[in-house]
């Protein structure tokens, strides 16, 4: 069985409320990222891309209608290229990368593109017509994500002050990364309806300490989680060309990373934020590695409390994690984020000259997903 590799990866800037990205169709947004990725790799002809798998947490409205195929058409792929949609909530586009990776390894395809996209302004959390099963509702299966973060904060006594410091550091790291040009390799400029060209993320900003400390709890009256310590509602897209080694060898391509292992795991939905812990444990076991072997980590920052829970419970080295900032600063456009953190992980590993990296995230409903890669 051939190994699977990431040939290249790219993402859009992430837009926030009242930003210039508001109003772009998510299918157009994803298509621009795919097109930019193909243009950056001229050796790969469009006819070589056999499948496009799009991860989207709420695939309806303008991000519905089998967006996997429509993104390929909009990006200029030939009509015999195929497409589908994956929904694993926040882990959707990492799952898309896993599916392309698996297909490439077993020879079902030679090369495909894993895409993530979400416009949380065009399609609300929960979608347009949520319909909850009464039995699951009684079990609080549909618990709000903020409440799950509060549960984790209570479990490990994670203070509001620690959450705020973590969130402010996310912004500071992202601002420093921008100053040093560290996002240049992973960003593609986006044309928003011919009215604006967006080149950078809306989110990173110098923390206003007094304002942050004055905020009321966002989810529970006596809680510790605030808007400042939560990832913001956002819009964005990311994409990765995933192929097998044979494809790269036959086309004289030098991939950027090898996909070493993939894993998913389930946890209780009221503590969904701990999902990365069992997922990472499974991924490490499959790769015959330990956390000591992992040199660079991208941990999706759904909430500061959730991130700190995973870091502390897992005994992870925080100096390896989210070196260019994370989702609290950049934004967490649900279905986009898995592909986004994989893209950022490769970028950071090249900047740090590290070999082995981990991307992982929690998933609403009580899941975790993880990917271990090595620079090729």
User: Running DSSP on this structure, what letter comes out for residue 90?
Assistant: B
Structure tokens at 111: 């090369």
CA-CA distance, 376 to 99, in Å (whole number)? Answer: 20
> Is 362 noted as a catalytic residue in this protein?
yes
Supply angle C-alpha 151, 154, 157, rounded to 5: 145
Please count the other Cβ atoms lying within 10 Å of the Cβ belonging to residue 110. 18
Please count the other Cβ atoms lying within 10 Å of the Cβ belonging to residue 313. 14
**Which residue among the candidates 56, 248, 336, 362 is catalytic per the annotation?**
362
- DSSP helix/strand/coil, 102: helix
**Which residue among the candidates 171, 248, 332, 336 is catalytic per the annotation?**
332
CA-CA distance, 176 to 148, in Å (whole number)? Answer: 31
Block residue for tokens 């303008």: 62
- DSSP helix/strand/coil, 216: coil
CA-CA distance, 296 to 283, in Å (whole number)? Answer: 15
**Which residue among the candidates 56, 90, 248, 336 is catalytic per the annotation?**
90
> Is 336 noted as a catalytic residue in this protein?
no
User: Running DSSP on this structure, what letter comes out for residue 232?
Assistant: P
185 Cα distance to chain centroid: 17
The residues annotated with a catalytic role in the active site are 90, 332, 362
């Amino acid at each position: 069985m051939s190994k699977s590799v990431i040939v290249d990866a790219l993402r859009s800037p992430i837009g926030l409320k009242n930003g210039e990205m508001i109003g772009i169709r998510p299918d157009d947004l994803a298509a621009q990222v795919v097109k930019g990725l193909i243009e950056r790799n001229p050796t790969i002809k469009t006819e070589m891309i056999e499948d496009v798998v799009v991860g989207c947490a709420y695939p309806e409205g303008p991000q519905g209608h089998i967006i996997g195929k429509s993104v390929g058409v909009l990006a200029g792929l030939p009509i015999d290229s195929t497409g589908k949609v994956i929904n694993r909530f926040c882990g959707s586009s990492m799952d898309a990368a896993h599916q392309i990776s698996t297909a490439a390894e077993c020879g079902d395809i030679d090369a495909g593109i894993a895409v993530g996209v979400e416009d949380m302004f065009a399609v609300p959390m929960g979608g347009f017509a949520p319909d909850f099963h009464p039995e699951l509702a009684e079990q609080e299966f549909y618990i709000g994500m903020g409440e799950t973060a509060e549960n984790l904060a209570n479990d490990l006594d994670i203070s509001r002050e620690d959450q705020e410091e973590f969130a402010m550091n996310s912004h500071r790291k992202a601002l420093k990364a921008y100053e040093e040009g560290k996002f240049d390799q992973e960003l593609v400029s986006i044309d928003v309806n011919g009215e604006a060209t967006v080149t950078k993320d809306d989110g990173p900003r110098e923390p206003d300490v007094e304002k942050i400390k004055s905020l009321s709890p966002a989810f529970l009256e006596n809680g510790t989680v605030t808007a400042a310590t939560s990832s913001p509602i956002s819009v964005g897209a990311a994409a990765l060309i995933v192929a097998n080694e044979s494809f790269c060898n036959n086309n004289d391509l030098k991939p950027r990373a090898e996909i070493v292992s993939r894993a998913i795991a389930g946890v209780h939905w009221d503590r969904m934020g701990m999902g990365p812990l069992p997922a990472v444990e499974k991924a490490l076991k499959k790769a015959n590695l330990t956390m000591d072997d992992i040199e660079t980590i991208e941990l999706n920052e759904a909430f500061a409390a959730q991130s700190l829970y995973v870091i502390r419970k897992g005994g992870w080295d925080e100096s390896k994690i989210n070196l260019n900032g994370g989702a609290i600063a950049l934004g967490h456009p649900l279905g986009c984020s898995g592909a986004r953190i994989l893209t950022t992980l490769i970028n950071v590993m090249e900047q740090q000259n590290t070999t082995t990296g981990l991307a992982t995230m929690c998933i609403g409903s009580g899941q975790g997903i993880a990917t271990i890669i090595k620079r090729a």
